[in-house]
Amino acid sequence: MEWTTAQTKAIEDRGHTLLVSAGAGAGKTSCLTERIARRLVSKGKYDENGVELGYDINDILVVTFTKAAAADIKEKLYKNLAKRLAETPDDRGLFAQLMGVGTARISTIHSFCLDLIKDNFQKLDVSPSVRVLDDTEGVQLKKKLQKKILDDRYESEDPDFLEFVESFTSLNNDAPLEEMLLEIYNKLRSFPDPFEWLERMIVDLEKETDFDELYDSKLGIRLKKIKNKYLESIFELLDEAKEIAEAVSNPAYYNHFAYHEAACETLRNSESYDASRQAFSYKPSNLYTRGLDEDDAARLRFLKSEISDNKLQKLAAFYENDSEAVRDELKRTVKTMRLIQSLEIELDRSFREKKRELGVLDYSDLEHYTLELLREADGSDSEICLSLRESLREIYIDEYQDINPLQDEIFRRIRKKNNCFMVGDVKQSIYRFRNAEPSIFMGYNDSFPKLEDAEDEAKLYLSENFRSSRNIINYVNEIFRKTYTAENGASGYGDEEA
């Protein structure tokens, strides 16, 4: 097979933790298996400095997100090695590597976690024969426990709880509330220390209520960044409208936009949140296009709609209430979060007790127990972690865009600075409903230097698509360039991501 320049770099690179952003049809699985195969056939070979170029198949860990994907990688790796062995049938080392594919550590993250737990069950309050709950069984069990908790709260007639319930239920139907609480619980469990994290979030929110000027609070600082982002875009549109009016030497065509310009200047220059709210009291004149070329008139109508009905309307939503009303709303939110916190802690306790009674774990437990094995109480790496890290020559992780914070913490602990191969494509993240956090992948992509500038950690793009026709690729890229922007919560879409 003939490899592209980028694919060759991904396959041959050594000495880096490499984040590979691989678009659809870029051949990422083929690159991953070829890279592993070349390492395996290089066992017993050394560079000029005496460093071994290869390793044994038992010295690697390959993790992906589905059993089917793990089986696919094993199959492709087996075929790759079998083809090489056919060319050198007397190579006993290669034969041993081939025979090791079936038992190699190529699995889902939960299989990896379960194996580690069973190997170290004596360090945990877990039976070596523990059973893993399937998703359906776990959901039904949590729903049953959640309903009992809510029923008990109803019986207590706690006024704060009853007020809370009124905000999230209607027509005596608790289903939306139960669904929300379970969704929050599942999200919390995707963090390394869920309830410590939740406590920090609530405390931070409480601090947000103590401000003299809203713009000086963390909330206000974030709001100013949002405001400035919108204003930057609006001023560009206003400049375009001004150019159309100036081109025909008739400022009347800009009169409508002049009101928006004044409002935006007020927003840009205001040092106070409440003063900024005054900008939305401006009432623009009607748009005047009489006598204007139809194309220019259509463009002005579009600019009016984009500024008034889109951007300014969205921005105005952030300024609907005065600062004291915002403070009161924040205090109500803190009160609500404290009540949610108590319900989630109670659910967690009940769920843990029930699982212990049944002798089962859920998938999230596998990750949490794995992290417990990998770190000491003070947060430092455990002996198990250090031993595992030392034993792994390289770690390969597929679909990294669908990782969650807890899984990322596990991999961050067991990898070295320069021995991890993480491949993914944030545009293909499909597991948000399972608490995947694509911002983790985006964060690495933003912080890692390009391969040619890297020391330990690097990024590389596989952008060439071998699956689709050029017309389809160009069409999709054009759409993504316009929609996959930082303003829409994405990382941007340049030529490298296309």
Looking at residue 393, its pLDDT comes to 95
Name the nearest CA neighbour of 368 among 352, 391, 354, 344: 352
* The pLDDT of residue 456 is above 90: yes
Name the nearest CA neighbour of 406 among 146, 245, 190: 190
Over residues 316-327, the mean pLDDT reads 95
* The pLDDT of residue 74 is above 70: yes
Render pLDDT for 113-122 as a digit per residue (tens, 0 to 9). Answer: 999 999 999 9
For residues 43 and 365, which has the higher predicted lDDT (pLDDT)?
Answer: 365
CB 401 within 8 A of CB 424: yes
Percent of the chain with pLDDT over 90: 77
Sign of CA dihedral 94, 98, 101, 104: negative
Confidence of residue 491 (pLDDT cuts 50, 70, 90): low
Looking at residue 476, its pLDDT comes to 73
Render pLDDT for 18-63 as a digit per residue (tens, 0 to 9). Answer: 999 988 778 889 999 999 999 999 988 888 888 788 899 999 999 9
323-358 and 175-188 helices, crossing angle to 10° = 80
Looking at residue 272, its pLDDT comes to 95
Render pLDDT for 416-451 as a digit per residue (tens, 0 to 9). Answer: 999 999 999 888 777 777 788 999 999 999 999 999
Instruction: Return the structure tokens found at 113.
Output: 């976690």
Looking at residue 495, its pLDDT comes to 60
Instruction: Return the structure tokens found at 28.
Output: 């990422």
Confidence of residue 497 (pLDDT cuts 50, 70, 90): low
Residue length of the chain: 498
* The pLDDT of residue 348 is above 70: yes
Confidence of residue 352 (pLDDT cuts 50, 70, 90): very high
- Ramachandran quadrant class, 102 (left: phi over 0; alpha: psi -120 to 50; beta: rest): alpha
In sequence order, which residues have a C-beta less than 8 Å from that of residue 237 and are 6 or more positions away?
303, 306, 307, 311
Half-sphere exposure of 224 (CA within 13 A, CB side): 17
Give dist(CA 86, CA 78) in Å, integer: 12
CB 414 within 8 A of CB 166: no
Render pLDDT for 404-419 as a digit per residue (tens, 0 to 9). Answer: 999 999 999 999 999 9
* The pLDDT of residue 321 is above 60: yes
Give dist(CA 354, CA 361) in Å, integer: 10
Confidence of residue 91 (pLDDT cuts 50, 70, 90): very high
Render pLDDT for 187-238 as a digit per residue (tens, 0 to 9). Answer: 999 999 999 999 999 999 999 999 999 999 999 999 999 999 999 999 999 9
Q: Round the average pLDDT of the chain to a whole number and report it.
A: 91
Classify residue 234 as exposed, middle or buried by CB count within 10 Å of its CB (0-12, 13-18, 19+). Answer: buried
* The pLDDT of residue 478 is above 60: yes
Looking at residue 238, its pLDDT comes to 95
Confidence of residue 496 (pLDDT cuts 50, 70, 90): low
Looking at residue 492, its pLDDT comes to 56
Sign of CA dihedral 401, 404, 409, 415: negative
